[in-house]
Amino acid sequence: MTQKRYQITFDPGSEQGLGAVVVLLHGLLLDHSMFSDQLEHLAKQGIRVISLSYAGHGGSDRLGVGPSVGAMADQVFAMLDELGISEPVVIGGLSMGGYVAFAGLEKYRQRIRGLVLMNTKAVPDTPEEAANRQRACELIRQAKSISPLAMTMLPRLLGKSTMRHKPEVWQKVARILDCMDVEAACDALIALANRPDRRPMLAGIDVPTLVIAGEEDLISTPEEMELIAKEIAGSEFVIIPGVGHLSTLEEPEQVGQVLARFLQKYFNNDGYPDKKRSSVDA
């Protein structure tokens, strides 16, 4: 048996449906389970959906190369090769997943036919933000636990409405964070601190694109997400009410509906661009 060229966690529950292939990429220190509701919803719409956990996340081994969003994108497309998926895919990423999606578009343009950017950024870290990530890495190494970082992250990840009314979402995110390996977390933090500025590439994006923002997102604000959408010609922009940074967990059904409408607008069930285009409503 040949050795796999990727170290991504991929299990049977991470792939559902038939039709146009959509790959969903998760956020910092999380895993593929943040898309579990969307997998089920989209599969019922005649879409083949794949979610995954990057190397070092979801119990998988760390990357054998220096951490970067480009290396994460390489792993994603190596996984698609192993699955025998050669046709272009729709790639969607939330937060860090958006950074990986940008890297994938830069490196594998001919293999991407659509783009979904959820609660993410095009700007790089400021020097202060990059330094904060390095300090966070030092902190969790000293603690030998992800807990100090998790406790500071959680209140910013979730919207105020979720914090007040959906304790089960807080608990789910906390459980995922608790499973994160300290060194793998540092890999991810370093990758984000060193990510490039993607603003120069926005005007050149020429695939159907959906941009999703959370109304209460303090990290990737609706205003910042709208600026991304305005730079991408013909893109769709949707604000999900009452959610923060983790829209797929905070309002899973609504996000699933928005994704489904976008995919049905541009892609038919055979996975080819659909010439019959209807409007996408929020």
Label each residue of the chain as H, E or C: CCCCCCCCECCHHHEECCCEEEEEECCCCCCHHHHHHHHHHHHCCCEEEEEEECCCCCCCCCCCCCCCHHHHHHHHHHHHHHCCCCCCEEEEEECHHHHHHHHHHHHCHHHEEEEEEECCCCCCCCHHHHHHHHHHHHHHHHHCCCHHHHHHHHHHHCCHHHHHHCHHHHHHHHHHHHCCCHHHHHHHHHHHHCCCCCHHHHCCCCCCEEEEEECCCCCCCHHHHHHHHHHCCCCEEEEECCCCCCHHHHCHHHHHHHHHHHHHHHECCCCCECCCCCCCCC
For the cut 70, the answer to whether the pLDDT of residue 21 exceeds it is yes
For the cut 90, the answer to whether the pLDDT of residue 118 exceeds it is yes
**What is the reported pLDDT for 273?**
45
**What is the reported pLDDT for 18?**
85
**What is the reported pLDDT for 14?**
79
Q: CB neighbours of 201 closer than 8 A, spacing ≥ 6? A: 102, 105, 106
For the cut 90, the answer to whether the pLDDT of residue 228 exceeds it is yes
- Between residues 199 and 282, which one has the greater pLDDT? 199
Across 11-25, 76-90, 242-256, least confident range? 11-25
**What is the reported pLDDT for 15?**
83
For the cut 90, the answer to whether the pLDDT of residue 221 exceeds it is yes
Proportion of the chain above pLDDT 70, given as a percent? 88
**Confidence band of 9 (pLDDT split at 50, 70, 90):** low
Average pLDDT over residues 130-141: 96
pTM (two decimals): 0.90
Q: Cβ of 234: how many Cβ atoms within 10 Å?
A: 10
Q: How far apart are CA 52 and CA 273, in angstroms?
A: 25
For the cut 60, the answer to whether the pLDDT of residue 27 exceeds it is yes
Q: How far apart are CA 236 and CA 36, in angstroms?
A: 23
Average pLDDT over residues 14-36: 91
For the cut 60, the answer to whether the pLDDT of residue 10 exceeds it is no
**Confidence band of 59 (pLDDT split at 50, 70, 90):** low
The overall longest dimension of the chain from CA atoms, in Å, is 57
**What is the reported pLDDT for 16?**
83
- Between residues 56 and 187, which one has the greater pLDDT? 187
CA 12 to chain centre: 19
Domains defined for the chain, CATH in brackets? 12-122+198-266 (3.40.50.1820)
Of the candidates 42, 72, 63, 53, the one whose C-alpha atom is nearest the C-alpha of residue 10 is: 53
Q: How far apart are CA 175 and CA 163, in angstroms?
A: 16
Q: How far apart are CA 184 and CA 179, in angstroms?
A: 11
> What's the burial of 130, exposed, middle or buried (CB within 10 Å: 0-12/13-18/19+)?
middle
- Between residues 73 and 5, which one has the greater pLDDT? 73
Proportion of the chain above pLDDT 90, given as a percent? 75
